[in-house]
C-alpha cells in the first residue's frame, strides 16, 4: 500500500472515530428522548462511519473502493455543511477544518500512486524483477 493511500486511510479512520464519538456523546447527552435529533446526527455522520469501515477493507485493492471512498468524502462534506447551514452558520465559517480533512483525503486518493494501487488486480503476479508494493 503506497504512503498516499495509508495516509488517506488514517485520516478516514480519524473521521470515523470522531463521528462515532460525536454520535455517542449526543446519545449520552440527550438520550433517546429526542429521536429526530439522534436520527439526524447518525445520518450526518453515516458517510464518515461507512468510509471508516470501507477503509478497513483496503488490504486487497479493488477499483470500486476508490470511487466509493471519494463519493463518501463528498457526501459527508455535503451533509455536514448542509446541516450547519440549516443551523444558521454563515457560509464563510464552513471553510474550516471540516473541509480540510475530506479535501486532503480526496487529493491523496486521486494522486497517480493511489489510483494505480486501487487498479491492481488482486492476486496478480508482478512482472519479474519488481517487488509488489503491498
Q: Give the global pTM.
A: 0.77
- Distances in whole angstroms, Cα of residue 130 to Cα of each of 1, 33, 125, 126, 133: 15, 59, 10, 6, 9
pLDDT tens per residue, range 55-75: 998 888 888 999 999 999 999
Low-confidence ranges of the chain (pLDDT < 70): 31-32, 87, 89-97, 121-134
Handedness of CA 129, 64, 114, 12 (dihedral sign): negative
Degrees, nearest 5: CA angle 124-128-130? 80
Cβ-based neighbour number of residue 56 at 10 Å:
12
Amino acid at each position: 500500500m503506497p504512503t498516499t493511500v495509508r495516509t488517506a486511510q488514517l485520516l478516514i479512520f480519524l473521521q470515523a472515530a470522531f463521528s462515532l464519538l460525536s454520535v455517542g456523546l449526543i446519545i449520552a447527552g440527550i438520550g433517546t428522548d429526542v429521536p429526530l435529533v439522534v436520527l439526524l446526527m447518525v445520518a450526518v455522520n453515516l458517510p464518515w462511519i461507512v468510509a471508516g469501515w470501507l477503509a478497513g477493507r483496503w488490504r486487497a485493492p479493488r477499483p470500486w473502493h476508490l470511487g466509493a471512498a471519494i463519493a463518501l468524502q463528498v457526501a459527508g462534506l455535503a451533509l455536514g455543511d448542509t446541516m450547519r447551514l440549516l443551523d444558521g452558520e454563515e457560509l464563510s465559517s464552513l471553510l474550516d477544518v471540516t473541509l480540510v480533512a475530506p479535501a486532503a483525503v480526496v487529493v491523496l486518493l486521486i494522486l497517480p500512486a493511489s489510483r494505480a494501487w486501487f487498479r491492481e488486480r488482486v492476486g496478480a503476479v508482478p512482472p519479474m524483477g519488481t517487488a509488489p508494493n503491498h
